[in-house]
Amino acid sequence: MKKNIQIRMDHLWFHYHDRVVLEDIRIEIEKNAITAISGPSGQGKSSFLMVLNRLWENIPGARVTGRVEMDFGKGFEDIHRSSLPVHRLRQRVGMVFQTPNPLPMSIYKNIAFPLTLMGEKDRAKIAFRVEAALKKAYLWDEVKDRLAENAETLSGGQQQRLCMARALAAEPTVLLLDEPTSSLDEASVRVIEDLLLELKKSCTIILVSHYMDQIQRIADHCLVLSDRRLRPDTAKGRDI
């Protein structure tokens, strides 16, 4: 048994129209650790991540039942309860998508964007946190002289690190990553992996990855999603 639990899921079902995508998921996810989710394509790994920040609510025909609780420092809270506005949840549960999705604005504004959303007005504080986030994502040296340029002019790998920096600027408690390194070259992959190892000190990371070697290198726990069920990857001896 783990002592430090961040997320608890009980009887979680995910339906897409009449199709069952996730069936009766019951798991606990450890705080300040990297939990990897692997498994065949099209089995609902992305859907699983979207349960955790309630982004599934944007998908027409999707339905989730069951209980998901997270500990944001005040004990376990049901993430679906009506007193928790969904945008507050998403400010604490950051997400980086498989395909980089910078917003059509400058590099600086992209990183400052979550702070703007939270109502931060202090320019000096914003500038400080933008720089810190870009440094964390190992992007600062490459973009510090072109912060006013449109973020969509960056290369694919740089865009992915930008999205990572943007998610970090909000200082989330939980970070969801959907195959964040699939569009990156080997060197950038290592950079991101080092970043994740560093980040887990302050953040709980859930990583969807196809790469078993990557999971071996950085994950503390591994779960496999197949046949609609999420099971510990006992074959790797990394039972959670």
Partner 1 sequence: MDFQDRVFRTVFFGASVLSAGVTVAVLGFMILLSLPVLKMGFLWEVLTSPWSPGRGQFGILPMMAGTLALAFLSLLVSLPVSLGCAFFMEILHPRGAGALLKKLVHFMTAVPTVIYGFVGVFLLVPLVQEFFAYGSGMCILSASLMLGLVISPTLILFFSESFSRVPQHYLNAVDSLGGTVFQKLRHVILPQAWPGMLTGMVLAFGRAMGDTLIALMISGNAVLMPSSLLDSTRTLTAHIALIFAADFDSTEFKILFISGIVLYAMTSLGILFARYFHKRALS
Sheet with 204-208, strands from edge to edge, namely: 93-96, 174-178, 204-208, 34-38, 221-226, 229-232
What's the min distance (Å) between Cβ of 204 and partner 1? 16
Among residues 99 and 153, whose Cβ is nearest to partner 1? Answer: 99
Residue showing tokens 């009766």: 24
What's the min distance (Å) between Cβ of 32 and partner 1? 21
Among residues 92 and 231, whose Cβ is nearest to partner 1? Answer: 92
What's the min distance (Å) between Cβ of 165 and partner 1? 12
Among residues 14 and 233, whose Cβ is nearest to partner 1? Answer: 14
What's the min distance (Å) between Cβ of 58 and partner 1? 6
Residue showing tokens 């939990």: 35
Residues that bind partner 1 (CB under 8 A): 53, 55, 58, 60, 85, 87-92, 94-95, 97, 99, 101-104, 113-114, 116-118, 163, 166-167, 170
Joined tokens for residue 92? 């604490």
Helix (H, G, I), strand (E, B) or coil at 13: strand
Residues with Cβ within 8 Å of residue 223, at least 6 apart in sequence = 27, 35, 36, 37, 38, 230, 231, 232, 233, 240
What's the min distance (Å) between Cβ of 102 and partner 1? 8
Angle (CA) 32 129 200, round 5°: 10
Pairing of strands 93-96, 174-178: parallel
Residue 70 pairs in a beta bridge with 7, 77
Q: What is the spatial distance between Cα 28 and Cα 124, in angstroms, rounded to a whole number?
A: 39
Among residues 4 and 99, whose Cβ is nearest to partner 1? Answer: 99
Among residues 34 and 167, whose Cβ is nearest to partner 1? Answer: 167
41 phi and psi angles, rounded to 5 deg: -65, 150
Among residues 107 and 224, whose Cβ is nearest to partner 1? Answer: 107
What's the min distance (Å) between Cβ of 234 and partner 1? 32
